[in-house]
Amino acid sequence: MNTTYRIFLFAFLTTSSVLFAQSHTWTGNGGNEDWFNTANWDVGSVPDTGSDVFIPDGFNTEIAANAAAANTIFLEGTANLVLTNDLLIMDRMEISLLSVFIFQSGVISGTGSSIENHGLLLLESTNTRTFNGITIHNFGELRVTNTNQTEVINGTVINNNTNGRVDIFGSGGFLPLGSSAAINNDGLLRKRANGNTPENFYLITAITNNGIIDVEANQTLLLLDGSSNFTNSESGILRGFGVIDITTNFINNGTIVPGNATTAGILGVINNFDCPPHATIEFDLFGTATADYDAVSITGSPHIEGTLAVNLHYMPEIGDEYTVLTSTNTMTCDLPNFISATFNGSLYRFVIFCNSNNVTLRMVESTLNVSEIASERVTFSTYPNPATSQLTVAIPKFYIDSTSEASITIFNSLGQSIDRLQITSETTIINTAAYNRGLYFLLLHHGKHFLGINKVVID
């Protein structure tokens, strides 16, 4: 064998040993769940840094007795893997849709290595655990429960993808120990309630939110890395009933939504609150009682610009007010004078009052819906028609009661509300001498219920 051939053969064999890692498939023939029991593997040996590990559907495996290593790990079907020691991953771990990886304690390391989770990645127990230089791609659920600190060090990154969920129960935090770490949220990151107990969880990492960060009632999410940015991007939403404590550099280009789409709530924000011109705060209004509309409660001295958006879930009345922003210290703002919202096709206009410690909305005008103009429900009389100096309105006695909830709202031909009258008897006389000539619409309401409409001409 010549020298050139021997060199080539040596190089090929050396390269092949790197390219073609040994396959280890779990059989469970050892009779227990111990990773280090050689009888549990099809090749009769424990995996090492050159091993591609397969744990098939239906098996449970535990790394506890010693530190373990593998090139790749694949959890298939409903396989479970529990880690209470150290694990070195040379390339990647993949968790399938129905599989569970339970990380209770120890260190997962591997520079440039990754964990791709389509199932459940569960961080549980109060023992400290560490991700060292790992990138987590979460397409399923990353759940933090019954926990304390999780160290995320040396460039560890958590990418929560569009369909991914990060559910945080309990107290504790993600701690970088002076090194770098980042969370990129494109899905849903929630600080969940665990009963009614108030709990705090801190994220001392750089954070970019392109999805939703939700904080439930009695919960506080603390974003504490003063040397990094917390960026709420244009698609990012901060919402909930709890408290977000922001001491990191807050860059807000997105939307803040107290409560949720079906229930009004108060979202608390502590310290660094920023609502620049391109950001939005969105409020749902279900009524005028404090518990019936959304609000943001700010501990600090905020400056409010941007857009205030209102979602109406009922028909407001002229004069209805809503204190939607409060602050403990002096508040300044640069907001428009008015905003508008629709309900059942009708347009409602609100004036914005920016006071030293709050922002209040007051409904001042409603514009009639075309569909309402065309509707006929309860018949009531208006005469004479055309009218000149006065108009008589006669409504059925059934709608006159001691509560005096019957009312008439008068709209001009442009659909603008110009007057509102309480009705306390079967006939009411309206002085029309000051009205301009033209077509008017009289809407009959009983409380907040629309009953009918008449058209009259003022001549």
Task: Provide DSSP, 162-187.
Answer: TT-EEEE-SSEEEE-TTS-EEEEESS
The domain of 175 spans 23-367
Say which range, 197-201, 204-208, 238-242, has the weakest mean pLDDT: 197-201
- Mean pLDDT, to the nearest integer, of 363-369? 74
Most confident of 308-317, 418-427, 438-447: 308-317
User: CATH no. for residue 399?
Assistant: 2.60.40.10
The answer as to whether 44 is a domain residue is yes
Q: Do both 269 and 339 map to the same domain?
A: yes
Query: Do residues 307 and 452 both lie within one domain?
Result: no
Which runs of E-coded beta strand occur in 204-242? 206-209, 212-215, 219-223, 229-232, 237-240
pLDDT tens column, 200-222: 999 999 999 999 999 999 999 99
Same domain, 276 and 405: no
Residue 109 pLDDT greater than 70, yes or no: yes
In a domain, 360, yes or no: yes
How wide is the angle at C-alpha 117 spanned by C-alphas 115 and 118, nearest 5°?
155
Do 197 and 56 belong to one domain? Answer: yes
Domain assignment of residue 149, yes or no: yes
pLDDT-based confidence at 453, cuts 50/70/90?
A: confident
Q: Is the pLDDT of residue 136 over 60?
A: yes
Would residue 17 count as lying in a domain? no
pLDDT at 448: 62
Structural domain contains residue 372: no
Residue 1 within a domain: no
The reply to whether 274 and 386 lie within a common domain is: no
**Which run of H or of E encompasses 5?**
helix 3-19
Shared-domain flag, residues 357 and 384: no
Please compute the mean of the pLDDT values over residues 105-131 and round it to a whole number. 96
Residue 401 has a pLDDT of 62
Q: Can you give the pTM of this predicted structure?
A: 0.80
One domain, residues 164 and 137: yes
Last residue of a domain, one of 340, 367, 394: 367
Q: Which of residues 349, 367, 385 is at a domain's end?
A: 367
Residue 165: inside a domain: yes
Q: Are residues 410 and 265 located together in one domain of the fold? A: no
Mean pLDDT of the chain: 90
Q: How far apart are the first and last CA of the chain?
A: 118
Least confident residue range of 129-138, 178-187, 397-406, 446-455: 397-406
Quick one: 195 and 336 in the same domain? yes
Q: Which of 323, 345, 367 is the last residue of a domain?
A: 367
Determine what percent of the chain falls in helix, strand and coil, rounding each to the nearest 5.
Answer: 5, 55, 40
413 in the same domain as 287: no
Query: What percent of the chain shows pLDDT beyond 70?
Result: 92
Q: pLDDT category, 369, cuts 50, 70, 90?
A: low
pLDDT digits (tens, 9 = 90+) for 263-286: 999 999 999 888 999 999 999 999
List, for residues 10-34, the tens digit of each pLDDT value: 344 344 434 457 999 999 999 999 9
Q: How far is CA 292 from the centre of its chain?
A: 20
DSSP three-state, residue 370: helix
Task: Using the predicted structure, report yes or no on whether residue 71 has a pLDDT greater than 70.
Answer: yes
- The number of distinct structural domains making up the chain is 2
Closest to 124 (Cα-Cα) out of 180, 162, 90, 168: 168
Distance CA 184, CA 190 (A): 14
Confidence of residue 414 (pLDDT cuts 50, 70, 90): confident
In a domain, 397, yes or no: yes
Contact present, 142 and 131 (Cβ < 8 Å): no
Same domain, 358 and 394: no
Given a cut of 50, whether residue 373 has pLDDT beyond it is no
Q: Spell out the residues 6+ positions from residue 125 whose beta carbon is closer than 8 angstroms to its own.
A: 104, 105, 146, 147
Return left, alpha or beta for 434; rule: phi > 0 is left, psi -120 to 50 is alpha, else beta: alpha
User: What does the pLDDT read at residue 368?
Assistant: 62
36 and 74 part of one domain: yes
